[in-house]
Amino acid sequence: MIRDTGFTVTAEEAGQRLDSVLQGRFPSSSRAFCRQALEAGQVQVNGRPCLKGNKLRPGDGVTVERLKEACDNRVRPDAAVPVRIVFADAHLIVANKPAGMPVHPLTSEETGTLMNGLVARYPELAELGDQPLMAGALHRIDTGTSGLVLAARTQAAFGGLRAQFESQAVEKIYLALVEGHVAVPGRLEHDLAHHPAFRGKMVDARSLAAPDRRMRAETAYKPLELAGRNTLLEVTIRTGVTHQIRCQLALGGYPIVNDTLYGAKPVDGCTRHFLHAYEVVFRHPASGQPCRIRAPLTDDFQAYLHNLQTV
């Protein structure tokens, strides 16, 4: 962290934007951190806070009260986060995330996420991976989805597991409670794209005149049991497109219960959609042996399903 320092603008720096000059003066920081410091009023020019786009003049005095460096962009430990570990060894950890908890923070100040809780218990995670705020996590699941999340405990394990995810060698199995009765197994194949006007929602790329990017998604499902007017499905994927299962099941006519973003009816008093990352199959990054790890249904999913079964 850069604190309580300053400099005088040179003739070469004159006419440049303030954020650009800060980045040049403090290369251990980043453009994003420079902008954050400016927005927070932690950088002043001639004793006054300035906007990031302000053009500087020769002789201006710039004071930096607080400016993050790249090494500060780490997940903060938060021991108050409840963490349920389903598997751990010297190379990797598998946690069972509850619905409603994000996998990782979006800024280094944020706490309350799964990775904040894991870093509090396994401090080595904070230094791992290729995205600092993922802290060694190999993948994401939606905040409203419960279930397993894998994290590596060494950089070698991270590299080995990441290669398996990228080559689609990892099999991911979910449990999804959907609206309606599903009688037979099926397979869904779509090119998905981001909705151009609804951030955070996916659509069938064929519904757009000119999608920015098409992402191939393949989802297989089979019914396990009927529960009232709903069906519990086992869903298997190898691809990892955003909202893949949620979007594709809705496109197939079976939206996930309470997933109102994709057309499901709202459930009174319920704050989650009923999708659970249940099982993952991969090769151990150290031994190469096949691994199959399961995360039991979370208590809220089990309770809701039990109520449907007993009605």
Catalogue the active-site residues: 142
Q: Which residues contact 297 (CB under 8 A, 6 or more apart)?
A: 146, 175, 276, 278, 305
Burial class (CB in 10 A: 0-12, 13-18, 19+), 234: middle
Closest-CA residue to 141 (of 273, 300, 250, 290)? 273
- How far apart, in whole angstroms, are the C-alpha atoms of residue 269 and residue 11? 63
DSSP 83-146: --EEEE-SSEEEEEEPTT--SS-SSTT--SSHHHHHHHH-GGGGG-SSSGGGTTB-----TT-E
SS3 (DSSP) at 198: coil
